[in-house]
Amino acid sequence: MTRDPSLLRNRDFVLLWSGQVVSTLGSMATSVIYPLLILALTDSPTAAGIAGALRFVPYLILSLPVGALIDRWDRKRVMVICDLGRALAVGSIPAAMAVDALSLAHIYFVCFVEGSLFVFFNIAEVAALPRVVPRAQLPEATAYNEAAFGVANIVGPSTGTILYQAFGRAVPFIADALSYLVSMASLLAMKTRFQADSVVAKRDLGVEIAEGLRWLWSKPLIRFMAFLTGGMNLANAATPLILIVLAKELGAGDAEIGLIFSIAGMGAIFGSLIGGRIQRRFTFGQVIVATMWLDALTFILYIAMPGYIWLGVLAALSSLVGPIYNVVQFSYRVALIPDSLQGRVNSTFRLVAFGFMPLGAALSGIVIEHFGVRSTVLAFAACLFMLAILTSLNRSVREAPALG
């Protein structure tokens, strides 16, 4: 059997991957700045939580129709337009600051627009990846992506807080807008077609959406994984605000908070580096069950950390789990979906998987403001332990066959 060449020799994958490294770095630079800016303007964790929720709400509204449309439309063109739109949306924040016209409503609007365009971009990217790399290299490609996210998690938050403190509140948003333009340029340089020549015939949108729903619902394992990922993301969406409030209670300033998120990113890089090896050595069920228990156990320990540096160390351990889980479940799922259904099935999966994120982001702010951050940690940890138990008992997960 002929072995596929290294992914690093795949020109179009390198272009796609490098563009996303820069774009993700820009996004991570502002991910910490949004809540810091809102807390500085309002001193309200609830207001910061709402901003986080608005970035995820579009998945609830748009996922299903977008999935069907992505299977109709030119996926590359969609991604290019989304990058341009996100650059303009994020760039409007420093423009408003320059004329002293920035408001909380404006920030909320940008969060929603950026989140909406991310839905289109993300579903198109996931659908296109099997066209860019061979099926056998999907786990490796996913690991590269997770490594990029890990690097962005290390460099981005610290870079964002340094730019925020040293050069002004507008600068991280300018950098983020420029990063989207870099991603757009990398897409335009690619030659690979992002879908097969035989595109889906244009029919009633509801019929096409239903096909994706039926396919996913007919696969017990993929169906369970969608809800499991959604439950994990409920806690993941709450984590940034929890870490910020805990760190402030432990005496950390803005720069130290950026350092905490950077330390956490080191764990994500290590997880991405070993994710592919773990995927080859252990069964799907073994990895998924183990990562669920590790996620729950590390999350509950947030309330016991004696200092903000230790908070970063624990966050790094917690962040190690996510890339391993993602490498295994993503590559397994995408390899099973027919190309003509990639957009619709992945949009259905992501509707469930990401649909819980606005709830988690909003709840974190509300519960912190009314009951305290430690009670918030206990509540979300209880959800993770329940998910770990359900996963351990699920036969479809434990007995998932190996893919040839």
Task: Give the mean pLDDT of the chain.
Answer: 86
- Of the candidate ranges 23-32, 54-63, 203-212, the one whose mean pLDDT is the lowest: 203-212
Q: Nearest Cα to 330, choosing from 400, 226, 401?
A: 226
pLDDT tops 90 at residue 83: yes
> Which superfamily is assigned to 10-187+204-398 in CATH?
MFS general substrate transporter like domains (1.20.1250.20)
pLDDT of residue 224 exceeding 90: yes
* CB distance 96 to 107 below 8 Å: no
> What are the residue ranges spanned by the domains of the chain?
10-187+204-398
Least Cα distance to 16 among 150, 185, 187 occurs for: 187
Per-residue tokens: 339: 């190309």
Mean of pLDDT values over 84-111: 93
State the pLDDT at residue 1. 39
Reported as a single tens digit per residue, the pLDDT across 110-156 is: 999 998 999 899 888 888 888 888 877 877 887 787 777 777 777 77
Report how far residue 310's alpha carbon sits from residue 102's, in angstroms, rounded to the nearest whole number. 36
Mean pLDDT for 186-197 is: 83
Query: What are 377-393's pLDDT values in tens digits?
Result: 999 999 999 999 999 99
N-terminal to C-terminal alpha carbon distance within the chain: 13
pTM of the model: 0.69
**Higher-confidence residue: 231 or 261?**
231
Which among 356, 331, 343, 89 is positioned nearest to 227, based on CA atoms?
A: 356
pLDDT digits (tens, 9 = 90+) for 295-341: 999 999 998 888 888 988 898 888 888 888 988 888 888 888 887 78
